[in-house]
Amino acid sequence: MALSTKPARPVSPNLPQPEPVFEGPPAAAGSAWRTALKQAVRDPAELCRLLELPATLLPAARRAAQQFGLFVPRAFLARMRKADLADPLLRQVLPLDDELRAAPGFTADPVGDAPAERAPGLLQKYSSRALLITTGACAVHCRYCFRRHYPYSAAPHSLAEWLPALDAIAADPTIDEVILSGGDPLTVVDDVLEPLVRRLEAIPHLRTLRIHTRLPIFIPERVCDSLLAWFSAAGSRLTPICVVHANHAAELDDDVAAACDRLRRAGVVLLNQAVLLRGVNDSVAALDELSRRLVALGVMPYYLHQLDRVAGAAHFEVPEAAGLRLVAALRERLPGYAVPRYVREQSGAPYKVPLID
């Protein structure tokens, strides 16, 4: 289905896929992360058992998981408190009946991805940078995901299918940064990513390679030697930037710290984007601690996103007025570099729109 003919679909069957779409070499040393992906929890009953949650949750969790599957790596589960439905990490991944309730203004493509497609899998909304939908697979299914209805199955799945996107980038000297996004680009094996990156390096006007990923948080083993080899400042002609996505300080355990340390030592600039989420991080204390923990890990807070109004996520929304009060309070407590930019994505706007000066 072509993205440019956006259908009005309340719910799409084209969900991010729980498995990487690329088959790499057989699992071996260095592929611990692929094992972690394979062993992720997908069954709501198993989630309830492991976290000692009441089985009364199950019918609703199963209904919501039919629309957008449950998918959560075990290492992330281990950071959650048991028997606590209010756990801020659990809330990000637990399917709830709330998702099935229609809410006015919440749609399948809230950020206008469809009209921004320049070539299959290549989105450009802003000047000088373009975003490559590298895969539909993720290391986790975030219940509030703004791409939960994106037609991933129509996106390219191999180097050959990326050629039109690569040609479009090569033909446009105004683009100097490519963002690998998805889905999560680091669910793709290095044997596929490296040749893609080599092609990008060969485009003379490109300067920066940015990756948007949650893997260093959810499966820190992904920051392995073979990844660093092609992504490091030394290994790549392009300046490497990695934008991770953590919403709560409890996500950032010692393994995540070690992964961030490896990236930093390889010369990768680290930034974080978070989404303001009701019941997860909508308090001054939670946002303050998130920023402090990120800075301790050498990760600069970049964006705090107002929730994109995607169908199924209305129960996560924090009103903008409340968000403004939170960010104002952060400013009184934190150094300027630790206060993320509070922004909203507005369809058709030439940048992510700041909600506070």
Give residues with Cβ within 8 angstroms of 214, minimum separation 6. Answer: 138, 139, 140, 142, 184, 244, 245, 246
* Dihedral class, residue 52 (left if φ above 0, else alpha if ψ from -120 to 50, else beta): left
- Binding residue for ligand SF4, selected from 142, 155, 209, 299, defined by CB under 6 A: 142
Q: How far lies 204's CA from each of 165, 170, 178, 268, in Å? A: 16, 8, 13, 20
| 126 interface partner picked from ligand PLP, ligand SF4, none, CB below 5 to 8 A per type | ligand PLP
Do 220 and 256 meet the contact criterion of CB atoms below 8 Å apart?
Answer: yes
183 binds ligand SF4 (CB under 6 A): yes
Half-sphere exposure of 145 (CA within 13 A, CB side): 27
214 binds ligand PLP (CB under 6 A): no
Sign of the CA dihedral running 114, 124, 191, 42: negative
Binding map of ligand SF4 across residues 12-41, x = CB under 6 A, - = no contact = ----x-------------------------
Q: Which amino acid is at 252?
A: L
Q: What is the smallest separation between the CB atom of 212 and ligand SF4, expressed in angstroms? A: 8
Looking at 99-107, 121-129, 132-140, 321-329, which segment touches ligand PLP (CB under 6 A)?
A: 121-129
22 binds ligand PLP (CB under 6 A): no
Alpha helices in 89-204 (DSSP H): 90-93, 159-170, 190-201
- Binding residue for ligand PLP, selected from 126, 153, 324, 356, defined by CB under 6 A: 126
125 binds ligand PLP (CB under 6 A): yes
Residues in the chain: 357
Q: What is the smallest separation between the CB atom of 114 and ligand PLP, expressed in angstroms? A: 12
| 179 interface partner picked from ligand SF4, ligand PLP, none, CB below 5 to 8 A per type | ligand PLP
Q: What is the smallest separation between the CB atom of 249 and ligand SF4, expressed in angstroms? A: 18
Half-sphere exposure of 152 (CA within 13 A, CB side): 25
Residues at the interface with ligand SF4 (CB under 6 A) = 16, 138, 140-142, 145, 147, 182-184, 214
Residues at the interface with ligand PLP (CB under 6 A) = 116, 123, 125-126, 129, 131, 179, 351-352
